[in-house]
Amino acid sequence: MVTEMKFDGASAVVTGAGNGIGRSIALELGRLGTRVLIADLDGDAAAGAAEEISAAGGTARSRKLDVTDYAAVESLADEAFSEFGRVDILHNNAGVTWRPFRAVWNATLADFRWMTEVNYFGVVNGVMAFLPRMREQEGRKQILNTSSMATTSLTPGHGLYTAAKHAVDGLSDTLREELIDHGDDFGVTVLYPGQITTGIGERSRDIRKLETGEDLSQGIAYVQVRDAKWAHNEPKTAENVGKQVVEAIVHNDPYCLTHPAPIEYLEARNQLWVQGYRGY
């Protein structure tokens, strides 16, 4: 049984919170009186978000963080528990993408490893560093992991990213059921952003270039053959994502979507699953 989350006086850690979606979430939590530790690969951006919360009368700290470095994530957990005494909300949000989209056959093994290390193992590192100590706490806890609407629809040209995000879905759904089985007062929510205008494509390009010298923008662009007019491809700003996430925490929703779900596609896909069993 999951009890009510009391945001005022709670403590939260949000990764990838220097910009865009993560920043919106951190700011909304700070507005509600939650103490927030903001982590981002861009330390200056993280500090700016923390300063904004502090200027509004909230409590926030910032930390430069590479989520692919488990020792660094574990150190972040040590800092959070030392500073706040507990962590009630953990949002594993940091991620990367690529522009332009490209076919799987035009990707390299290095591309696969990079997408997976950040988008999936960044989540794994957060879960492993924080979960054991959070489980020992009394009261309500919540883990949120950022996936993508890409896992709910057709995404030609975005296979590496989508594969890593599917892994986030599988981990999150299984963890939720395990915590339910063991009677933990602990919710697990998956955030599915659609087209949120955050500049993640440009930041991802800059990160990759800094790390390896490779320029993602020079890849062979995927040529879209079929029309992809999904509702979640309609651009939105990140402004309201924080409010949506807070509502999901309040209601312990397993899923939080920033755009309408592609119901027709999901129903058709489920029907194909049913038809896939031939009875042998």
pLDDT given for residue 224 in this prediction: 85
What does the pLDDT average to over 181-193? 98
What would the pLDDT profile of 32-60 be if each residue is shown by its tens digit?
Answer: 999 999 999 999 999 999 999 999 999 99
- pLDDT of residue 279 exceeding 90: no
Residue 124 and residue 171 in contact, taking contact as beta carbons nearer than 8 Å: yes
232 pLDDT tier (thresholds 50, 70, 90)? confident
The CA distance from 194 to 199, in Å, is 13
> With 90 as the cut, is the pLDDT of residue 1 above it?
no
What is the rounded distance in angstroms from the CA atom of residue 134 to the CA atom of residue 179? 12
Q: Is the peptide bond before 100 cis (omega within 30 degrees of 0)?
A: yes
Strand-pair partners of 188: 143
Q: Is the pLDDT of residue 258 over 90?
A: yes
- What gap in Å lies between CA 51 and CA 236, rounded to an integer? 25
Percentage of the chain modeled with pLDDT above 70:
100
Q: What would the pLDDT profile of 77-101 be if each residue is shown by its tens digit?
A: 999 999 999 999 999 999 999 999 9
Statement: residue 254 has pLDDT above 80: yes
Q: Given the structure tokens 């709910």, which residue do they identify?
A: 152
Average pLDDT, the chain: 95
The residues annotated with a catalytic role in the active site are: 161
Residue 116's pLDDT is 98
pLDDT in tens, 131-177: 999 999 999 999 999 999 999 998 999 999 999 999 999 999 999 99
Judge residue 180's burial from the number of C-beta atoms within 10 Å of its C-beta, 0-12 exposed, 13-18 middle, 19 or more buried: middle
Residue 229: pLDDT above 80?
no
> Measured on CA atoms in the order 100, 101, 104, 105, is the torsion positive or negative?
negative
Flag whether pLDDT at 228 surpasses 80: no
- 186 pLDDT more than 90: yes
Averaged over 170-192, what is the pLDDT?
98
| Tokens (6 digits) for 112 | 């696969």
**Ranges of H-type helices in the chain:** 20-31, 43-55, 70-84, 109-119, 121-136, 159-181, 200-212, 241-250, 263-275
* Residue 231 binned pLDDT confidence (cut-offs 50, 70, 90): confident
* pLDDT score for 121: 98
In this structure, the number of other CB atoms found within 10 A of the CB of residue 108 comes to 11
pLDDT at site 226: 78
Confidence band for 7, pLDDT divided at 50, 70 and 90: very high
- List CB contacts of 146: < 8 A, sequence separation 6 or more: 16, 21, 91, 92, 93, 94, 95, 123, 168, 190, 191, 193
Domains defined for the chain, CATH in brackets: 11-275 (3.40.50.720)
- The whole-number pLDDT of residue 222 equals 92
The per-residue pLDDT for 219 is 86
Distance of CA 131 to the CA centre of its chain: 16
> What value does the mean pLDDT take over residues 173-184?
98
Tokens (6 digits) for 166: 């599917």
What is the distance between the alpha carbons of residues 33 and 53, in angstroms, rounded to a whole number?
10
CB 62 within 8 A of CB 81: no
How many H-runs (helices) and E-runs (strands) does the chain carry? 9, 7
Q: Tell me the mean pLDDT in the region 65-77.
A: 98
